[in-house]
Structure 1
Amino acid sequence: MKNIILVGKPNSGKSLLFNQLTGMRQKVANFPGVTVELKSGKFDQYQLVDFPGTYSLQSLSRDEELAIAKLHEAMHSDDTSLIVCNLDATRLERSLVFGLQVRDLAFQHNKGLIFALNMIDEVSRFGHHIDTEQLAQDLGCKVHALSAKTLIGLHEFRLALLDAAQHPQDFIPLKTEEASQPVLEISRKLSQQYGIKADVVLKRQNKIDDFLLNNVFGGLIFLVIMFLLFQSIFTWASPLMDGVEAIVGQLAALSSSVLPPGVVNDFVTDALFGGVGSFLVFVPQIMVLTLVIGLLEDTGYLARAALICHKPLSFFGLSGRSFIPYLSGHACAIPAIFAARTIESPRKRLITMMTIPLMSCSARLPVYALLIAVLVPETQYLGGLLNLQGITFFILYFIGILTALLVSTLLNKLTDMNTDQAEMPFILELPTYRLPHWKPLIHRVLTSAKQFIKRAAPVIFVVSVVIWFLGYFPQNGDLQSSYLAMLGHWIDPIFTPLGLDWRYGVAILVSFLAREVFVGALGTLFGIEGADENIAGLAANIQSDGLALGAGIGLMLFYVVALQCVATVATIKGETGSKKIAWGLFVGYGLLAYFLAFLAATFI
């Protein structure tokens, strides 16, 4: 299958165009450097490949370096049929810098090339018109005006793209009279001739930035937005969580009443509904987290947040660009570690990657939600807009961030400054403010829940079955005389100083496979123990069991800090090329987590 290569600068609507052409719902983010891997999808009989966004063929970051290397590789490949270069119609000069370089590269390798002039709807909104036919003559390539968001010109572009892919030799760039001039000079001249004036586009943006980036109010607004982000995870998701818990409880009660008493009934009730069902209750929080972060990305606020955070993060030896991987780490550490490639400084990139595991990822959400529901009352403020449980959520996330900053400071002092390259100035493009494209955003939210369940459910199911079997036999449901109790009492001395009994110890140990397994393991254990009682939520079972406040807080602190994700360890090893760093973080964060849990259990 022949390939069509899609390239362009970051934040130019390229990924959304890719989605529209392939029907895939790739993540579309409104800040530079979001795409760190090649994405591909089928377009007719061709494979459309979305390359990471780059500003120039001269790389400034590892992300761009990899993208440019892959682009040169694609230019040499016989499988590459056509190059599509996406241009931002609202910022033509910046887009053409890269576009002209790609044009020259396509000419050198005898590859067909067409330009997609994206975001034409925003240009039209300001009453401006771009003469695409004349621009095509000056560029020596076909230019197609379109809007991937409003679908203006998209049907015509599909037809033109298919024709160009079938006859790529007819679309090899032509040499123009200006081809010998410097790229910056040509792009500036063409932008002045065809593009919309920058002050027209920036007028509204600057008014908003004057408020959001104000020296006094900007930081306060940022803190409020971050507080609402973490508050929403608990407050907004609470009705959905209650609904899922009710459904799981009703299904468990129905299956228990239908199945005859015995081993099968106990297995379905305790292992399936007690283990896997307890985990599903917390999936709505993953969806809310993805939705809120997606809104911040698509509207363009994340780039502003990175700018606001640059100065305070510099104090800890980081860069403003570290903010984006840090925030992404609250969804999942693995893509966040990849996103750190956009940090130009190798030292700051390494420190960022090493501290990303301290961000509270979505796998920790079920653990936090369970323990908060057990320990913190549902006290509400401001008519229910805020509640104490949501505030506790924010505090846990803040502790993770604070720990990451303190560790960053330590690593920065321990890192040999002489081994680093010269520090480059912090430069970040501020995208225009835009309304989110809701269809991909909602799809992203649903996909995040689907992927989370797909990744975690099989592990939780296997662990739940194993724990149920070991906890049910040999006495058919007597947990205290089970095989699992024998194992639990053997490891009990490790967790007794933390104020936890062997059941929590078993759940903690198996959660080193994946943090969210903790909830499923406890659900199975408490399900076996309360098999003859009315089915209740796991939080209610733990409350009735009497978890001490200090032990509960220590348990939360343990999960804030401990690195309990094998995939994250493997990713750090791959990105740093060092087993010593990866496993050193695993052991170091584990010991720190145990120490904090011990302090909480001892003094609270």
Structure 2
Amino acid sequence: MQAPINIALVGNPNSGKSSLFNALTGLNQKVSNFPGVTVDKKTGTAQIVPGLTANIIDLPGTYSLYPKSADEYVTYDVLINPNSDDLPDMVIIVADASNLKRNLLFCSQIIDLKIPVIIALTMMDLARKKGVEIDLDGLERELGVPVVAINPRKNKGVAELKKIIDLSARTQYSNPPRDFINNGDLARPVIETVKQVLSCKSDYGALHIAVNVDDLAFVTPAAKKSIEESLRSSQFNKTKVQAEEIMQRYARIKHIMKNTVVETDPLQKQLRSEKIDDLLLHRFWGYVILLVVMFLLFQSIFWLASYPMDWIEGSFGALSGWLSSVLPDNKITDVFINGILAGISGFAVFIPQIMILFGLITVLEDTGYMARISFLTDRLMRQVGLNGKSVMPLISGVACAVPAIMATRTIENKKERLITIMVTPLMSCSARLPIYTMMIALVIPDNRVLGILGLRGLAMMGLYLLGFFMAIFIAAVMKLFVKIKEKSYFIMELPVYRAPRWKNVGTTMVEKAKIFVKDAGKVIVVISVILWFLASYGPASRMEPVHAKYEKLLSEVKEDSPEAAELNKQFQSEKLAHSYAGILGHVIEPVIRPLGFDWKIGIALITSFAAREVFVGTMATLYSVGEDPDNNNATLREKMEAATWPDGAPVYTLASGLSLMIFYAFAMQCMSTLAIVRRETKSWKYPVIQLVYMTALAYVCSFIIFQIFK
């Protein structure tokens, strides 16, 4: 069997590259990092034909071989560096047929690197709708490389592409026979010098090494010295050479387009996407529609998830009550019901909402609407020191801050990238969703506004908008302090509108639920068991008097009397108060009491620093341990509704509920986010600043809200 070959997938953003990667590799994928940088490295294996396997590397999207962002530099290094670990045997260029002229610029640059190339044309159906007909055979003759039409979303043309890969592999990866343009004439002396001191196969590759010699780590000091001497003696002008190259490429592309592409008068045809954009990107109605979409998104989280959530919550309550009645009354039963089962129920009930949130976000991404949000908000972003590219990480932060912060790598401007990293955790992520849902259900009435708008859905949308506008405000403040002067431009291609791929939506929902159960679930269960121990045991000097007191009191009343039931309830509550968890909570309580929080919430604030969603599991465990064993069939919501202060006043009021939601909306309660900020900024300075300012912001805003509403 032939050894696996390395194939790099390259192309412009939104060209269909990721869809082809998924079609070729299926489930045989993994994500790591490229050596020395924090950019994602998506790799996978594909069975091309029997006996031929390929390692597929999905390189970050880029518009040309002149990189501007960290992602584009990765693609550049893999293609230019002859010592790269990921040096491809073959390159598949994924090109958008509906924007062929722009895509051919990048294609022509790759061809001139003298790496075996196959061009995979996507979106042929869209090209035809625009009145564009492409002569594939003629295009193949003009470019000198194989060209194949594919639709990876529908798995069309993939089999033909594999045949061409096999043919290219069996002919030992033949290079394109000629340069696209005469690169040697652009700077002949410099190119010859580079080819002499480095193992460079092409004139164009040598030209790029000369242009970027100061930034290329693989160039040895001796080689760099020789190249720099040649650049000086030749009076090499980088800007002039690049401009001349691009002009020659577009002149040749114009000739190729004339010979191989038939295009109707563009004024005769206006695409459906453009007509939709006239409305969705309107200066007024675009923002109105965006608010409506956001409201429907958050209202659906309540409306669609209410039935499965009620069923899950009721099932766990009934299961706990049944197990309490059939299992022996001992410590093993206690830790299983009030520790493990309570912890599982604390996060399992929110799985439907997590799935619905990610499903709806996937629909917005698949249809192409998510990219429009960037354009709608670019003007606002610029006023606070950001640009439209900052919107995508902020929107991604609604799912999880960790990948959202990693997504800032596409922002070329250092100042804008740093500010985006610093404010992204203020966006309400899915880990906050269980807390919001629980507290809204507790303190917000299920009423309608104007007869149609659900008050709970409005409250949920308000919390998400609050996070967004606070991020904008903090960005405006940071703009004054971050002293990096660098101009930026926002250029982004709007993808065409498409029907969502429902299979993709379903797969995403299931995968996100698995991740939530696997990552958050195991943390919650472990912390729940630890909390059960801390809440069940305490110092002997405190616990023994409590046991003695209630043993005496219980001996003086009948076993099944109402007095005995009330004494048992008081015993459980007092025992919890004197446990290790109770002692810790009472130490914290004076600090958080001005926010309307009791000592149980204080314990949850500490445990949820591991992950915000741990808050719910913590409350489930504390209220299970602290309750009468006969009340195990009650749901967590019912137990929290019944919670009172020592004077009998309810713990969870509108004021304390709003205060708690505001605290979690702004607080940095996530170790993973701090770790990723450290990795992306390569300094502990910024995560520490983030932790301090977000905690202070959360405390002050929570204090103000509680004082206003109490």
TM-score with structure 2 setting the length: 0.78
Q: Are 1:537 and 2:635 counterparts?
A: yes
Give distance in 2, aligned partners of 1:71 and 1:47. 16
- Report the counterpart of residue 520 of structure 1 in structure 2: 617
- Residues 392-471 of structure 1 mapped to structure 2, 5 A cutoff: 392-416=459-483, 419-421=484-486, 423-471=487-535
Larger mean Cα displacement after TM superposition, 464-473 or 146-155: 146-155
Give distance in 2, aligned partners of 1:481 and 1:26. 52
Question: CA offset at residue 410 of structure 1?
Answer: 0.6
Contact 1:212 1:218 in 2 (8 A): yes
- Report the counterpart of residue 676 of structure 2 in structure 1: 571
- Residues 474-493 of structure 1 mapped to structure 2, 5 A cutoff: 478-493=575-590
Q: Are 1:40 and 2:43 counterparts?
A: yes
- When residues 260 and 433 of structure 1 are mapped into structure 2, their CA distance, relative to the original with a 3 A threshold, is same
Contact 1:91 1:195 in 2 (8 A): no
Contact 2:98 2:132 in 1 (8 A): no
Give distance in 2, aligned partners of 1:560 and 1:118. 42
- Report the counterpart of residue 146 of structure 1 in structure 2: 150
- Report the counterpart of residue 103 of structure 2 in structure 1: 95
Larger mean Cα displacement after TM superposition, 435-444 or 332-341: 435-444
Higher relative contact order (CA 8 A, sep 6+): 1
- What residue ranges of structure 1 are gaps of 5+ in the alignment? 28-34
- What residue ranges of structure 2 are gaps of 5+ in the alignment? 31-37, 48-52, 184-244, 548-571, 644-649
SS of residue matched to 2:118: strand
- When residues 424 and 190 of structure 1 are mapped into structure 2, their CA distance, relative to the original with a 3 A threshold, is farther
Question: CA offset at residue 178 of structure 1?
Answer: 5.1
Contact 2:133 2:263 in 1 (8 A): no
Give distance in 2, aligned partners of 1:157 and 1:523. 55
Q: Are 1:260 and 2:325 counterparts?
A: no
Give distance in 2, aligned partners of 1:555 and 1:179. 67
Q: Which amino acid aligns with 2:675?
A: A
Q: Which amino acid aligns with 1:173?
A: P
Give distance in 1, aligned partners of 2:488 and 2:537. 63
* CA offset digits 1:115-147 (Å, max 9, x no partner): 111223334556754322221111111111111
Question: CA offset at residue 252 of structure 1?
Answer: 3.1
- When residues 243 and 159 of structure 1 are mapped into structure 2, their CA distance, relative to the original with a 3 A threshold, is farther
- Residues 8-23 of structure 1 mapped to structure 2, 5 A cutoff: 8-23=11-26
- When residues 221 and 195 of structure 1 are mapped into structure 2, their CA distance, relative to the original with a 3 A threshold, is farther
* CA offset digits 1:350-403 (Å, max 9, x no partner): 1111100100011111111111111112224577x6421111101111111111
Give distance in 1, aligned partners of 2:82 and 2:283. 46
- When residues 538 and 415 of structure 1 are mapped into structure 2, their CA distance, relative to the original with a 3 A threshold, is same
Contact 1:25 1:444 in 2 (8 A): no
- When residues 177 and 557 of structure 1 are mapped into structure 2, their CA distance, relative to the original with a 3 A threshold, is closer
Question: CA offset at residue 77 of structure 1?
Answer: 4.7
Contact 2:29 2:43 in 1 (8 A): no
- Report the counterpart of residue 703 of structure 2 in structure 1: 598
SS of residue matched to 1:222: helix
Contact 1:316 1:412 in 2 (8 A): yes
- When residues 444 and 163 of structure 1 are mapped into structure 2, their CA distance, relative to the original with a 3 A threshold, is farther
Within the candidate set 454, 472, 496, 1:387 is matched to 454
Q: Which amino acid aligns with 2:359?
A: L
Give distance in 1, aligned partners of 2:287 and 2:462. 18
Larger mean Cα displacement after TM superposition, 427-436 or 357-366: 427-436
Give distance in 1, aligned partners of 2:436 and 2:262. 50
Contact 1:345 1:424 in 2 (8 A): yes
Give distance in 2, aligned partners of 1:231 and 1:49. 40
- Report the counterpart of residue 312 of structure 1 in structure 2: 380
Contact 2:374 2:391 in 1 (8 A): yes
- Report the counterpart of residue 80 of structure 2 in structure 1: 72
- Report the counterpart of residue 238 of structure 1 in structure 2: 306
Give distance in 2, aligned partners of 1:491 and 1:582. 24
| Percent pairwise identity | 39
Q: Which amino acid aligns with 1:405?
A: I
- Report the counterpart of residue 6 of structure 1 in structure 2: 9
Give distance in 1, aligned partners of 2:322 and 2:257. 68
- Report the counterpart of residue 663 of structure 2 in structure 1: 558
Contact 2:350 2:434 in 1 (8 A): yes
Aligned positions, number: 588
- Report the counterpart of residue 117 of structure 1 in structure 2: 121
Give distance in 2, aligned partners of 1:449 and 1:74. 42
Q: Are 1:190 and 2:263 counterparts?
A: no
* CA offset digits 1:539-576 (Å, max 9, x no partner): 22111112232222111111000011111111112212
Q: Which amino acid aligns with 1:489?
A: H
Q: Are 1:217 and 2:270 counterparts?
A: no
Contact 2:667 2:698 in 1 (8 A): yes
Question: CA offset at residue 489 of structure 1?
Answer: 1.9
- When residues 573 and 232 of structure 1 are mapped into structure 2, their CA distance, relative to the original with a 3 A threshold, is same
Contact 2:666 2:698 in 1 (8 A): yes
Give distance in 2, aligned partners of 1:201 and 1:248. 59
Question: CA offset at residue 469 of structure 1?
Answer: 0.9
- Report the counterpart of residue 275 of structure 2 in structure 1: 207
Question: CA offset at residue 493 of structure 1?
Answer: 2.0
Contact 2:427 2:468 in 1 (8 A): yes
Larger mean Cα displacement after TM superposition, 115-124 or 9-18: 115-124
Q: Are 1:503 and 2:608 counterparts?
A: no
- Report the counterpart of residue 562 of structure 2 in structure 1: none
RMSD: 2.5
SS of residue matched to 1:10: coil
Give distance in 1, aligned partners of 2:263 and 2:428. 43
- Report the counterpart of residue 136 of structure 1 in structure 2: 140
Give distance in 2, aligned partners of 1:76 and 1:468. 52
Give distance in 2, aligned partners of 1:513 and 1:155. 47
Contact 1:141 1:171 in 2 (8 A): no
Q: Are 1:159 and 2:163 counterparts?
A: yes
- Report the counterpart of residue 232 of structure 2 in structure 1: none
Q: Which amino acid aligns with 1:390?
A: G
- When residues 286 and 202 of structure 1 are mapped into structure 2, their CA distance, relative to the original with a 3 A threshold, is farther
SS of residue matched to 1:500: coil
SS of residue matched to 1:157: helix
- When residues 267 and 564 of structure 1 are mapped into structure 2, their CA distance, relative to the original with a 3 A threshold, is same
Q: Which amino acid aligns with 2:69?
A: S
Question: CA offset at residue 245 of structure 1?
Answer: 2.1
SS of residue matched to 1:270: helix
- When residues 174 and 584 of structure 1 are mapped into structure 2, their CA distance, relative to the original with a 3 A threshold, is same
Contact 2:111 2:179 in 1 (8 A): no
- When residues 370 and 177 of structure 1 are mapped into structure 2, their CA distance, relative to the original with a 3 A threshold, is closer
Contact 2:595 2:703 in 1 (8 A): yes
Give distance in 1, aligned partners of 2:365 and 2:86. 37
Question: CA offset at residue 264 of structure 1?
Answer: 2.2
* CA offset digits 1:101-127 (Å, max 9, x no partner): 11112x0xxx32211112233345567
- Report the counterpart of residue 234 of structure 2 in structure 1: none
Larger mean Cα displacement after TM superposition, 68-77 or 547-556: 68-77
Q: Are 1:326 and 2:394 counterparts?
A: yes
Contact 1:93 1:190 in 2 (8 A): no
Q: Are 1:378 and 2:382 counterparts?
A: no
Give distance in 1, aligned partners of 2:684 and 2:378. 30
Give distance in 1, aligned partners of 2:339 and 2:82. 50
Give distance in 2, aligned partners of 1:185 and 1:401. 46
- When residues 74 and 327 of structure 1 are mapped into structure 2, their CA distance, relative to the original with a 3 A threshold, is farther
Larger Rg, first or second structure (1 or 2): 2
Question: CA offset at residue 150 of structure 1?
Answer: 2.1
Question: CA offset at residue 228 of structure 1?
Answer: 2.2
- When residues 225 and 158 of structure 1 are mapped into structure 2, their CA distance, relative to the original with a 3 A threshold, is same
- Report the counterpart of residue 31 of structure 1 in structure 2: none
SS of residue matched to 1:532: helix
* CA offset digits 1:479-501 (Å, max 9, x no partner): 23322212222222222222222
